[in-house]
């Protein structure tokens, strides 16, 4: 019984961390169709911000929930202004340019902090389920992920900002006729996407190793999940995270984390073969 409870929590946790990894990408790539290959490095920057801020004596919750998103959001806007905006609409060039940015960010962080593992310890301590010890933070992470997605959903559907953003993504010309400046909307949306990514990096910092190359472990899975999600970026990402997180965690439980990652990829390739438009291309069509 305890094992089953623990396994359920593990699966939920796997889904949550995958969904969190993808949240910012769902906005930048899912909505804006901008391929940000530096996504993993934005997460890495978020994680480093949390580590540095926490080590400087700031409360860990403040560093994770406030400082990380602000810092990475600003970095995202700078990158967007400096060069990503020149590549809008040119898929392959964006891919390569952001990937250059990704290597550059790794290089800069390596030069500053060195190629060593850092980290912060998870807050909230442990609880015991039967004979097992479980970090409360892992439970909190599930709630925090739900919070992040609810917030994204509400902003997109209930606020004027969300309406403008969605309208601009659908038809930039129409939006500019209505007096909205698409470049500014793109900039703000990219910044928000980067901020959410930084938040995710900060939130995952206590349960992962923080090294300059940590982004590599995130980027492939994040892209696969958002792509499998399809056009309805938020819903699709959640559904795909649910499927992949479950598969990965169950296989990992039976074998090793590496086989779990392989299983995720295989399921993704088969899913994409069956539903080339992604999950929201066939089902949940009118979702967001």
Select the residue interacting with other proteins from 71, 101, 156, 210 (CB under 8 A): 101
What are the residues facing 210 on neighbouring strands? 118
Which residue lies nearer to other proteins by CB, 110 or 176? 110
Pair 133, 5: CB distance under 8 Å: no
Structure tokens at 55: 């080590």
Q: Tell me how far the alpha carbon of residue 130 is from its chain's centroid.
A: 33
Pair 234, 26: CB distance under 8 Å: yes
Residue range at the interface with other proteins (CB under 8 A); choices 47-55, 172-180, 197-205, 214-222: 214-222
| Angstrom distance (rounded) from CA 170 to CA 24 | 19
> Least distance from C-beta 202 to other proteins, angstroms?
22
Residue 113 interacting with other proteins (CB under 8 A)? no
> Least distance from C-beta 87 to other proteins, angstroms?
8
Residue 261 interacting with other proteins (CB under 8 A)? yes
| Angstrom distance (rounded) from CA 274 to CA 288 | 21
| Angstrom distance (rounded) from CA 271 to CA 185 | 33
Select the residue interacting with other proteins from 58, 65, 110, 161 (CB under 8 A): 110
Residue range at the interface with other proteins (CB under 8 A); choices 8-16, 43-51, 69-77, 211-219: 211-219
CA atoms within 13 A on the CB side of 230: 22
* 35-94 residues near other proteins, rule: CB under 8 A: 35, 83, 86-87, 91-93
CB atoms within 10 A of CB 160: 7
CB atoms within 10 A of CB 36: 32
Select the residue interacting with other proteins from 4, 89, 121, 273 (CB under 8 A): 273
| Angstrom distance (rounded) from CA 161 to CA 183 | 14
Binding mask 221-260 for other proteins (x = CB under 8 A): x-xx--x----------------------------x-x--
> Least distance from C-beta 68 to other proteins, angstroms?
22
Residue 281 interacting with other proteins (CB under 8 A)? no
Residue 287 interacting with other proteins (CB under 8 A)? no
CB atoms within 10 A of CB 143: 10
Pair 228, 278: CB distance under 8 Å: yes
Residue 220 interacting with other proteins (CB under 8 A)? yes
Residue 207 interacting with other proteins (CB under 8 A)? no
CB atoms within 10 A of CB 177: 9
Residue 134 interacting with other proteins (CB under 8 A)? no
Which residues would be at the binding site for other proteins (CB under 8 A)?
35, 83, 86-87, 91-93, 95-97, 99-108, 110-111, 212, 216, 219-221, 223-224, 227, 256, 258, 261-262, 265, 268-269, 272-273, 276
């Amino acid at each position: 019984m305890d094992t089953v409870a623990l396994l359920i929590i593990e699966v939920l946790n796997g889904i949550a961390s995958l969904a969190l990894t993808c949240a910012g990408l769902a906005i930048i790539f899912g909505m804006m169709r901008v391929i940000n290959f530096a996504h993993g490095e934005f997460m890495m920057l978020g994680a480093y911000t949390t580590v540095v801020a926490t080590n400087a004596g700031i409360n860990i919750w403040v560093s994770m929930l406030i400082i990380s998103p602000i810092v990475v959001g600003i970095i995202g806007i700078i990158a967007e202004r400096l060069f990503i905006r020149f590549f809008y609409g040119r898929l392959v060039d964006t891919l390569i340019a952001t990937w250059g940015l990704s290597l550059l960010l790794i290089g800069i962080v390596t030069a500053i902090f060195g190629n060593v593992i850092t980290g912060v310890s998870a807050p909230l301590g442990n609880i015991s389920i039967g004979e097992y010890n479980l970090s409360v933070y892992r439970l909190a992470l599930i709630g925090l992920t739900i919070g992040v997605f609810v917030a994204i959903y509400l902003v997109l559907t209930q606020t004027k900002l969300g309406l403008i953003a969605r309208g601009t993504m659908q038809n930039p010309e129409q939006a500019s006729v209505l007096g909205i400046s698409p470049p500014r909307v793109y900039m703000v949306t990219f910044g928000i996407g980067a901020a959410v990514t930084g938040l995710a990096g900060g939130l995952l910092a206590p349960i992962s190793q923080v090294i300059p190359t940590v982004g590599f472990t995130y980027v492939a899975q994040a892209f696969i999940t958002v792509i499998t999600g399809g056009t309805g970026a938020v819903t699709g990402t959640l559904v795909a995270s649910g499927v992949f997180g479950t598969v990965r965690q169950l296989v990992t439980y039976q074998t090793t984390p590496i086989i779990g990652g392989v299983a995720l990829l295989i399921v993704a390739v088969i899913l994409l073969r069956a539903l080339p438009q992604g999950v929201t291309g066939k089902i949940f069509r009118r979702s967001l």
